[in-house]
Amino acid sequence: MSSLDQNQHLHPSCRDKTTVSSDSSGTRELAKQPLQGLKLASHAVLEKAQQRGRLKCSKCGGSRMFFCYTCCSLVGVSLQEIPLIKLPVKIDIIKHPNETDGKSTAIHAKILAPSDVTIYTYPCIPEYDKDKVVLVFPGPGAVSVQDMMQCLHDRTDSRSRDFDKPCIKRLKCEEVQGSTHTAENPELGTPDEAKGLESRAFPLQRVVFIDSTWNQTNKISTDERLQDLLQVELKMRKTCFWRHQKGKPDTYLATIEAIYYFLKDFHEHCLAQEYNGEYDNLLFFYSYLHSVVNKAKISAGKC
């Protein structure tokens, strides 16, 4: 099986390239690859799995490569062979029900950072505490990752000043959590002693991403349960996504790219730590698939 054939199994949408034969000109592309220089675990395991071809998922029987996007489990690759990443903050991904699972990169995050990532299918989403949760979504009111922590602090401050005033709407969830809120807040007693990473990240507890096509995204982002969340925008990042959506800006990132860039900024600007590739492996599958598709494109003479 040529690498091009394998690529078509991975990406059925690339069928238009069938007439072009595969060759070894992939190296020409190196200069154009923005995913170079990442600190990644070896892709040897993926190369081997790709050579074996698709296998049946033991849970649902679906024909899969690397992982099953329906069952969220590995296929033909063992847990020990792939990197496991610990994230500095919890991530929720809200998936549009119409989004084709096989095309979504949200599953990459769940598989690589299973204890920190939760995927919800819209309209099933949790009630969020607006003082501790942000939504990564561009818009006129969106702030940068750099400004995010200050904005969250300002929100908390102004709300504690307003504490005596009657609260207007959607406070059910906050009331339940209110009793533990004060005890957890290291800043109320000793504002300058909060040196640990957890304290630096305080009050941010969770970051919400929306996983859907450009057109479906607006419906989710305007859901009233997300309306009051601070919106955070990832500026100046360009997508490497091979399924670039026609007519959309190239700053419209694949979900896994958005998570990666957010965390990188968060690490540098909010945790004030030097970034040493801590979350690069979130792009473990993405960068591999990207290189496979790129090689196929070069073979097809499209680059």
Which residues of this protein are in contact with Zn ion, per CB under 5 A?
A: 57, 59-60, 62, 68, 70-71
Closer by beta carbon to Zn ion, 121 or else 185: 121
Q: Which of residues 52 and 302 has its CB atom nearest to Zn ion in the complex?
A: 52
CA of residue 2 relative to chain centroid, distance: 31
Please list the residues that pair with 133 across neighbouring strands. 206
What is the Cα–Cα distance from 264 to 258, expressed in whole angstroms?
A: 10
Cα–Cα distance for residue pair 110/93, rounded to 1 Å: 9
CB closer to Zn ion, 73 vs 185:
73
Q: How far is the CB of 75 from Zn ion (least distance, A)?
A: 7
* Residue 79: CB minimum distance to Zn ion, A: 15
How many helices (H) and strands (E) are present in the chain, helices listed first? 11, 9
> How far is 102 from 123, CA to CA, in rounded Å?
20
Residue 65: CB minimum distance to Zn ion, A: 12
Contact 238, 167 (CB under 8 A): no
Work out how close the CB of 45 gets to Zn ion at its nearest, in angstroms, rounded to a whole number: 19
Closest to Zn ion by CB, 63 vs 115, is: 63
Element spanning 290, H or E: helix 284-299
52 touches 300 (CB < 8 A):
no
C-beta of 70: minimal distance to Zn ion in Å?
A: 4
Pick the closer one to Zn ion by CB: 70 or 213: 70
| Angle CA 247–253–254, to nearest 5 | 110
